[in-house]
Every structure is written in structure tokens, then in C-alpha cells.
Amino acid sequence: MAAGFQGRASSSGAQLIQGRRADRASSTRNLSVTQDSVAEAKPVRCAYAFRLIQFSAVGAKHGENHMLKKYRLLALLAAFVLAIAACGSDAATDETETDAGSESTEESSDGDAMEEEDGDAMEEEDGDAMEEDAMEEDAMEETNSGDFNVGLTYDIGGRGDQSFNDSAAAGLDRAKEEIGVTGSEAEPNADGSDRAQLLQLQADNSELVVAVGFLFAGDVVTVAAENPDTNFAVIDDAMLDFDNGAVPWGDNIAGLTFAEEQGSFLVGAAAALKSETGTIGFIGGVGGFGLIEKFEAGYAAGARAVNPDIEIIPQYITQAPDFDGFFAADRAQEIALTMYGQGADVIYHAAGGSGAGLFEAAKSESESSGSQVWAIGVDSDQYNTAGADFQPYILTSMLKRVDTAVFEITNAQAGGAFSAGNTVYDLSVDGVGYSTTGGYIDDIVPQLEEFKAGIISGDIVVPTEP
């Protein structure tokens, strides 16, 4: 199995999301209109003004960061001023000169004012229309079309696990609808011994094979080498050979990893802000291989950023190489009930399908004790997937946008832009985050957003080890 997994993810290699943003920002910055060319003639001056409006609008809709959006808005405002100066004011001047011989000075002034107002309104309408057109054009550039098959190969549990696999399935569903691809889905047997066989079956019929989970890493390296005309992507592994300078394992292999510690920091802060006992818990599915420890480390750091004296009770269901901890809801329920009994009133899980046991425990403990206790979900917005009976007990969820990663790599394949190496989805690109469904954390969102801004800026560095 490839060394490194999530804990050794690197930002080297293909950076699909950041690359597109950088290209688009660069193209905007490089636009220039010389003063001499604008001065040559009124039609040229007007055309340049509206062209600047159009380019200022492009890109504001599709995921740019806050600062870039601000600069685009300033550019758009400046472009409108230029448009008025270049077109509307000249039109008003021409009208004044035509009427000068037959109207009084007062009437001419009134006519100029009405002309200017009408011109401003028309230019504003034209500018809005052009902005919408530019955004639509940008959207079309962002989403490619492709007539090929994507072989999505789930981790054990498959579609319907209400967590990790379901998020990947949502990405494939979106790609089918927006890009036009077809999809084939496969799931390993109970012990995962047929992973390589499933990958080869998918490669036989797919241009792109996406493997959901780091446990596929070693088999992907082998199968990809035997299928050089098929591209492969692995969720949760950087797919870099760290023993040889962190180069990609193959030209047709990409890694899609996440900054889980950053999203976990935010839900850890939420847990501390909402805890009334000063004690919170963490349930990890499987420990000992570096991935789930990132969730724990971020969660603890976020909680202690709010309350340095908070007590945190961590426990893992199993230790690697026993990965049954991701599919043991009964064990998670037992652990959670014990933690609630020890005074914890908020528990966060990073345990895959075992998280269902946490939700059961939160419900039963709240009902039996008469005191509200909370659970925090993971990967997807589990308020929406766990069932109505459990919604009153799910405080928030740490969002890990596996769906976005699956869609983005499919879109890159459709556009001929697949690139080997690792792409990291972090807070800066909304690759991780937190949910607000249910409204239970609405009152603390401003504080969480401050923490988020600090992480993105680099003022807060989140640890990856407990």
C-alpha cells in the first residue's frame, strides 16, 4: 500500500482548483486599456469601457475567494464610471450642441440632465445584462461536457452509508447531470479482498476510475500501471511516492486529499461554545495509521481555542490494521453512552458508518436523562441523512467535500485537464467546513467564521497530530 496516506498529503502536483482560480485572476489583472487608444474616438472609448465591464464580471460567481470578489466589484464600479464618461457624457454634449441655437440656456441644461439620467439607466441595464452574460459564459467554461464512463469504486459500505461513500455518490450524480458522463458503481466484499479485481473491471469500461478511500492506494498503483490509457484518482491518499522525491506514482494517477484538521477545528470550537459541562468527547473509527488522528487533533485544538481548560475524552473503536471500527455502530453507541455518563455533553465522531451508533446514544441519553446532549456528524451533513428521529440531537457536521472532489476530477477529465499528483481540498476552497442545518449553531456562526478566516490567512495553524 502506498506510504503516506492522508497524513503525508502534499500540496505538490496537480492543484486543479487553485490553478483555475490563479489563471482566471491573472487574465483579469493583465487586461489594460491605454489612454491613447481610448482618446482616439468615442466609439472605441465606449467599446473599451463595456469590455472592461464584461471582464470585471467574469469569475465572481464560481468559487473565488472573498478578496478577489472585492477587487472584481471595485473594477466593475470603475468600469461603469468609465462607461458613463466615454458614452453617456458625450451623448449629452452632442444633444446640447444640436439644441443650442433654438433653446434657452435653462432648457438646454434641463435636457442635458434628463439625457444623463436616461443614459445612466440604460448603461446600468446594459451593464447588468453583460455581467449576467459574462457569468453564464464563465459557468460554461467551468463545467465541461464529456461522453465517457466514470467507474466509481466505493469503500466497504457503498452507496447508502449516510457518510463518506454517499458524498462520493453525490459527486458522481452531479457529474452525470452537469457534464453528461455515465457512471458504473462497485463495492468491495466484506473483507475488501477483491479491490484490485473491481478496479480492473472498472478500467475495462471507463476513461476515469475513482477509488473511494486510501485502502485502494496500493491496488491502484498496480492496476493503473497495467492500464495506461485509463486515469485513476484515489480519495484520501496523495498518491505520491515519498521515497523518491514525492513524485506521482504514475502519469495516470491523481490523489484527492482534504484538510480534515481544519474543518474539525471549527466543529471543535462549536462543541466548546455549546458545552455546558466543560467536557466533550471524540470517537474515532480506526486509529494508528494517521488519518483519523487529524480529525482528533483539529477538534481538540478548536475546542481549546475557545476553552483552554475543557476536558476532552477521545476513544478509537479499533486500531489498524483492523478497520472494522468504521462499521461497528453498536460499539460506537456503547462508547458514546459511557462518555455521556462521564459528563460529556457533545461528542464528535470520525467513524464512518459507526457514527449511527453515536446518534442513537445521543437520542437515548437525552430522553432518559432529561438533559440535552449533542452529537456532531462527519463527511456529509448528517442532519439530513441520519433520519428525522435523530435531527434534534445533531449539533452540526464537519463537511468533507468528497462530492466536490469527485465532480472536479471528472470535470478535469472531460476538459482534457487531468493531471497526476495531489490536490488538497482545504478551507480556502471550501473543501472542508461545517453545517448549520437545524439552526442549533446559528448564534455562534460569527465566532466560527472568525476562526475560519484566521485559518485561511495562516494566523491559526491547525495541528495534524493529537
| pLDDT single digits (tens) 148-199 | 999 999 999 899 887 889 999 999 999 999 999 999 999 999 999 999 999 9
Half-sphere exposure of 202 (CA within 13 A, CB side): 30
Which of residues 216 and 42 earns the better pLDDT score?
216
Rounded Cα distance, 400 and 102, in Å = 72
For the ranges 11-20, 114-123, 367-376, the lowest mean pLDDT is seen at 11-20
> Once rounded to an integer, what is the mean pLDDT over residues 250-270?
98
Assign 194 to helix, strand or coil. coil
So what's the pLDDT on residue 72?
A: 45
**CATH no. for 260-400+436-457:** 3.40.50.2300
Q: Identify the band that residue 145 occupies on the pLDDT scale cut at 50, 70 and 90.
A: confident
- Which residues share a beta bridge with 318? 286
Decide if pLDDT at 125 tops 60. no
- Which residues share a beta bridge with 315? 283
So what's the pLDDT on residue 142?
A: 79
Phi-psi region of 458 (alpha: psi -120 to 50; beta: other; left: phi over 0): left
Rounded Cα distance, 314 and 465, in Å = 13
Q: Identify the band that residue 115 occupies on the pLDDT scale cut at 50, 70 and 90.
A: very low
pTM of the prediction?
Answer: 0.70
So what's the pLDDT on residue 420?
A: 98
**Is 387:440 a contact under the CB 8 Å cutoff?**
no
Q: Percentage of the chain surpassing pLDDT 90?
A: 67
Close Cβ partners of 48 (under 8 Å, ≥ 6 residues apart):
33, 37, 38, 82, 86
Q: In what helix (H) or strand (E) does residue 36 lie, and over which residues does it extend?
A: helix 35-39
> Once rounded to an integer, what is the mean pLDDT over residues 414-442?
97
Burial of residue 138 (CB within 10 Å: 0-12, 13-18, 19+) is middle
Which stretches of 100-237 are DSSP H helices?
A: 105-142, 164-178, 195-205, 217-226
What's the whole-number average pLDDT of the chain? 80
**Is 265:302 a contact under the CB 8 Å cutoff?**
yes
Rounded Cα distance, 398 and 375, in Å = 11
Decide if pLDDT at 407 tops 70. yes
Rounded Cα distance, 136 and 370, in Å = 53
Residue among 311, 308, 260, 319 at smallest CA distance from 282 = 311
Q: Write the single-letter amino acid at 189.
A: N
Q: Percentage of the chain surpassing pLDDT 70?
A: 70
Residue among 353, 324, 325, 357 at smallest CA distance from 339 = 357
So what's the pLDDT on residue 164?
A: 87
Quote the cell numbers at residue 169.
Answer: 455518490
Q: Indicate if 260-400+436-457 has the same CATH topology as 6-16+147-258.
A: yes
Decide if pLDDT at 430 tops 50. yes
Quote the cell numbers at residue 190.
Answer: 466484506
Residue ranges covered by each domain of the chain: 6-16+147-258, 31-142, 260-400+436-457
CATH class of 6-16+147-258: alpha beta
